[in-house]
Structure 1
Amino acid sequence: MTILDDITLVAVICIWSLLLLNIVLIISGYFYYVKSERWAAVPKSFKRYPMVSVMVPAHNEGIVIGDTVRSLLAFDYPSDRYEIIVINDNSSDNSAEILEALQMEYRGRQLHVINTDAKTGGRGKSGALNNGYKIAKGEYIVIYDADNTPEPKALKTLVWEIENDDSLGAVIGKFRTRNKDASLLTRFINIETLCFQWMAQAGRWNLLKLCTIPGTNFIIRRSIIDAIGGWDEKAIAEDTEISFRIYMMKKKIKFAPEAVTWEQEPQTLPVWFRQRTRWVKGNIYVLMKNFPLLWKKEARQIRFDLLYFFSTYFFLLFSLLISDCMFLFGMAGVIHLSLAGLSNILWALAILMFVLGTFVTISTEKGEMNFKNIILIILMYFTYTKLWMIVAIYGLIMYVLDVIGHKETKWYKTERFQ
């Protein structure tokens, strides 16, 4: 065997190790979904309705903020037991006028608007949340992004789950793609969201009682925010960052798939690329910040997640890159590998497992199990997953350059569409 064979073998082992792990998570997640559907049908009674503060950070969200606020006002939860706080953070569009009109229309409801400028705000999502938290009165804090339209029962579901389990520091619902038919890209994102975010979350919760907070549609105890001193304003992936801090407080984060919100996803490649670059840079920041915890006894609870995310962003990324390059160079006759036959068989099997696993995942959602989606999943492997590799490498390079240049990472707000 040559050095190229050794490199190829290591890459294949890394890819298949993580692939098999994800298959285990998918199977476990699938059973959790089945169990959750049965549990969702059981009537849930409330001994009390605790006060809840629903916070929405918004920067130049005039296109979507009206629909979002109206959906929040329509929650199936006593109207006098929750308040809505919209942090209109240094916006230059017509958001302030839209929000003022909504306050007039829904006079008598607890709809509060905080308007900040470049001096009092403009520090990204974490800064906006910290501003909103200063006036929040709720025993629990719920966060929604400005493009979300949650289903009426979402809030009640989140509250019920956390109220009935003292071991929980937070409960997350799931988000669905409301503009999935807008473009080929949004169809890919819809499949990605169902499989690589929500089914993996369900599997991790079912097997390990681990979950990671998404940026939206979650509830957290006020006592948690008080204890950690608010959101880390240096973290552009504030959701992942706060998840680790909750686990370090010996609290759990549960996944409740019945709590659903619908959100708008990027419809064009440049918008998607900027959004995902922010995600990559933000998650790498959190990994680097928390990586020393691997050797601390009190961090046993989050070791799996640290290794899981680290392996995804480093080992899997570079293993896929090496594997694809070796395959292409081998097909072109540039290099000759003694493992070429085995490598090609494993490569084909990996594609098959990707397609089957992804299709099983989307079968949990009504209307998604169809032949068109099988074709989309196959196409997704050869296009969208390769784009993910590009954005992950680019995000990693930008993170390293920011660290070397001592640059403050700026929060990029995803562009909205009509």
Structure 2
Amino acid sequence: MKNMTFVDYLFLYALVCTWGLLLLNIILTLGGYAYYLHISKININILRKIKKYPFVSILIPAHNEEKVIGRTLKAVLSLDYPIEKIEIIVINDCSTDDTEKVLRKVVAENPNRKITIINTDPLTGGKGKSNALNIGFKRSKGELLVVYDADNTPEKVSLRYLVHTIMSTDEYGAVIGKFRTRNKERNMLTRFINIETLSFQWMAQAGRWKLFKIATIPGTNFIIRRSILQGLGGWDERAVAEDTEISFRIYRMGYKIAFMPLAVTWEQEPETLRVWFKQRTRWANGNIYVLIKYFKKIFEQKNTSVLFDLYYFFSVYILFLSSILISDIVFILGLLTDYKISLVGNFIIIWILSYILFVLEVSITLTLEKGESNYKNILLVAIMYFTYCQLWMVVAIRGIAVYLKNSILNREAKWNKTERF
């Protein structure tokens, strides 16, 4: 160890960070698996025994969504919930396409339903999803509020699951459901996204909830108490990742965010790399904003939920990203220069083991979804490690760059929506 070089230290740093996050994800996967076994035993008949049906306001923010908003609104209208206890508010935020025309047609076809369409102008709207949600919140009357993105088609009983869960205890400030990929068979990219959604998103949520009683709002398919939103003053309009940001504030109020995976919605995912890069860069930018905002107050944090999520985001966007960059640099230096790793040990075996663990971790997740655990998807997982996962590094770097640029120029949040197909 006395003869270790600078390259050796870099390599060890990358190795420790990579394995640290890998092991954390394995722990979360095992926790998620245990939670799935628990939740699968719940009898659906409990949804028919809700003693009190609170009034629910459903908010759907929309900006140039003519391709998908009609299908979404019809799915929401089909939710299995007393129609006198539900209102639907669509915030048509400065759309320049035929979004309003599509909405008016659906409203005309359902004259007996309470549907409110709010059309904003450049003065009041056009400032992003958070602003649109705040506009809808001010017009809403529900004791509980539910948010669906404009491309979502929730399953009929999903709202009942959300309501039943949040009404089960006053400890829950919000409850999130699970989202699935509607267009997963479109191409190779959507198949990768489908696997990512099942493993790194909903399985990680399940593990975090099972082991630590923590869940982060995903931006769609969630329910929240009106009293909570009033106490928070609504959504942070500077936050691009308004879902993550409001999760942190709910934690700080002392409430839990529960995860109910039986409340399912289906959504459309990007079908081209250009759209995918744009969407994921926005997510990374938004999460960096939240990380910086609350990391500045880390010594003021007493809530363990906030501290755990700060560590989790720091691990993903700082430690893991830097470890990937450093390992790539070390590899290139070893090929092109005399700066090589001098540590004794078979590090090829360590790398192969990490790859095998990755494939096993994701494959375990696929066994929990009907029709997903097949040879085609297992092969995709093996390929995914070298392709789709590597693109994440580019997305994270771009997200950090966009955050820094917006901070320096003091830009306000604007709509940067995902293109629909």
The residue correspondences of 1:260-279 to structure 2 (distance < 5 A) are 260-279=264-283
Measure how far apart 1:40 and its partner are. 4.4
1:68 match: 72
Contact 2:64 2:99 in 1 (8 A): yes
1:3 match: 6
Q: Tell me the percent identity.
A: 56
Distance 2:339 2:345 in 1: 13
1:21 match: 24
2:40 match: 37
2:364 match: 360
Segment of structure 1 superposing worse, 94-103 or 148-157: 94-103
Secondary structure (helix, strand or coil) at the match of 1:230 reads coil
Contact 1:330 1:340 in 2 (8 A): no
Contact 1:273 1:391 in 2 (8 A): yes
Distance 1:126 1:14 in 2: 34
1:211 match: 215
The residue correspondences of 1:174-253 to structure 2 (distance < 5 A) are 174-253=178-257
2:122 match: 118
Quick one: which amino acid aligns to residue 374 of structure 1?
Answer: I
Distance 1:364 1:301 in 2: 27
Secondary structure (helix, strand or coil) at the match of 1:216 reads coil
CA-atom RMSD, angstroms?
Answer: 1.4
Distance 2:281 2:114 in 1: 36
Task: Count residues in correspondence.
Answer: 417
Distance 2:218 2:248 in 1: 12
Measure how far apart 1:381 and its partner are. 0.5
Measure how far apart 1:405 and its partner are. 2.9
Superposed CA deviations along residues 185-242 of structure 1, whole A, max 9, x for unmatched, are 1111001111111111000000110000001000000001100111111001000000
Measure how far apart 1:116 and its partner are. 1.0
Secondary structure (helix, strand or coil) at the match of 1:142 reads strand
Measure how far apart 1:358 and its partner are. 0.5
Quick one: which amino acid aligns to residue 211 of structure 1?
Answer: A
Contact 1:362 1:369 in 2 (8 A): yes
1:346 and 2:350 matched: yes
Superposed CA deviations along residues 258-287 of structure 1, whole A, max 9, x for unmatched, are 000000000000100011110011000011
Secondary structure (helix, strand or coil) at the match of 1:382 reads coil
1:317 match: 321
Change in 2 beyond 3 A, CA 1:335/1:42? farther
Q: Which runs of 5+ in 2 are unaligned?
A: none
- TM-score by structure 2 length? 0.96
Measure how far apart 1:104 and its partner are. 1.1
1:291 match: 295
1:377 and 2:397 matched: no
1:255 match: 259
Change in 2 beyond 3 A, CA 1:104/1:326? same
Secondary structure (helix, strand or coil) at the match of 1:368 reads coil
- TM-score by structure 1 length? 0.97
Distance 2:253 2:76 in 1: 30
Contact 1:294 1:300 in 2 (8 A): no
The residue correspondences of 1:158-173 to structure 2 (distance < 5 A) are 158-173=162-177
Q: Which runs of 5+ in 1 are unaligned?
A: none
